[in-house]
Amino acid sequence: MTAIILDGLGLANELALELKQEVNSLKVIPVLKVILVGNDPESQIYVRSKEKRAREIGINLEVVSLPETIEEREILDLIDRFNKQDEVDGIMVQLPLPQHISYHNIINALDPTKDADGFSAVNMGKLWLNEPNFIAPATPKGIMTLLDHYHLELAGKNSVIIGRSNIVSKPLASLLLARNSTVTITHRQTTNIIEIARQADFLFVATGQAEMVDKSFVKPGAVVVDVGINRTDHGLVGDVNFSEVKQVAGYLTPVPKGVGPMTVISLMEQVVSHAKMREENGAKSD
């Protein structure tokens, strides 16, 4: 038996075509501002993949490159300006930020409706509480879209998340719980992690440790979602040992071409959705 591979890139390409048609039918042009501080080479790779998708779809993505030494105050002023500009649909701050800048201050300064990454406390809180009108972080949102595409039903199933990051694991837990899955969050201090992982119908791995999850973690037939992206001597790999786990899992996301493209397309969906709302509101006030 070998796992069915969940084709994130294929689905993202399909969704990009649909989004392009949606954008063509709009009178307004969706605008996304990406704030990039410093010269982290990883960040630049991520930003380029977003630029490529945005161009394809017809989103006006502007990268605002700021020097490593910029003061927090200046970024806050810039955010304040974008918050007030009606034509801006989304603002995102590429992570990581330099040490002297408070991530919390920056992210919570975003207008919640323009917080394209959904990382602000108020969006995270609304998502956790199942309130209406939140923005879900792109990675967990993209994972849900991918699982839905393959008709993988979460309700009543055991979901186990390895890792507890704010940007992936916690919002993922919120979404899984809203889908009526039983949710376990494990982390470095979990003592019996393999035993817990082996009970998962859905296993989500977001640890940042290359290929740490081997087949001993996986119940036969389980759905395994690999959120990791690690650059190694033998190329890009995930947090899951792909060749081993694909012999045991029922479904498995590859790295690359799995969760990564779904993250980018989810961000774009968010921006287009804000632009549609803006057009509707504009039409109403005409």
Q: Which residues are annotated as a binding site for NADP(+)?
A: 163-165, 229
List the binding residues: 163-165, 229
Specify whether 233 is catalytic: no
94 or 181: CB nearest a second copy? 181
Minimum distance of a second copy from residue 56's CB (angstroms): 32
Minimum distance of a second copy from residue 73's CB (angstroms): 19
102 or 230: CB nearest a second copy? 102
Cβ–Cβ under 8 Å, residues 197 and 162 = yes
List CB contacts of 172: < 8 A, sequence separation 6 or more.
139, 140, 143, 161, 204, 206
Can you read off the two tokens belonging to residue 165? 């990051």
Cβ–Cβ under 8 Å, residues 176 and 152 = no
DSSP annotation of 2 reads -
Specify whether 94 is catalytic: yes
Burial class (CB in 10 A: 0-12, 13-18, 19+), 284: exposed
Q: How far apart are CA 275 and CA 187, in angstroms?
A: 38
135 or 255: CB nearest a second copy? 135
49 or 184: CB nearest a second copy? 184
Minimum distance of a second copy from residue 136's CB (angstroms): 13
Can you read off the two tokens belonging to residue 30? 């969706």
Cβ–Cβ under 8 Å, residues 233 and 213 = no
Minimum distance of a second copy from residue 43's CB (angstroms): 21
Minimum distance of a second copy from residue 161's CB (angstroms): 10
Specify whether 126 is catalytic: no
Burial class (CB in 10 A: 0-12, 13-18, 19+), 189: exposed
73 or 187: CB nearest a second copy? 187
Question: 94, 115, 141, 246: which one is catalytic?
Answer: 94
Question: 115, 117, 201, 226: which one is catalytic?
Answer: 117
Q: How far apart are CA 185 and CA 161, in angstroms?
A: 5
Cβ–Cβ under 8 Å, residues 245 and 219 = no
Q: How many CB atoms lie within 10 A of CB 11?
A: 20
Q: How far apart are CA 266 and CA 269, in angstroms?
A: 5
Residue ranges in contact with a second copy by CB under 8 A: 104, 120-126, 128-132, 155-158, 164, 166, 170, 173-174, 177, 180-187, 189-192, 196
Can you read off the two tokens belonging to residue 92? 């995102």
State the catalytic residues. Answer: 50, 94, 117
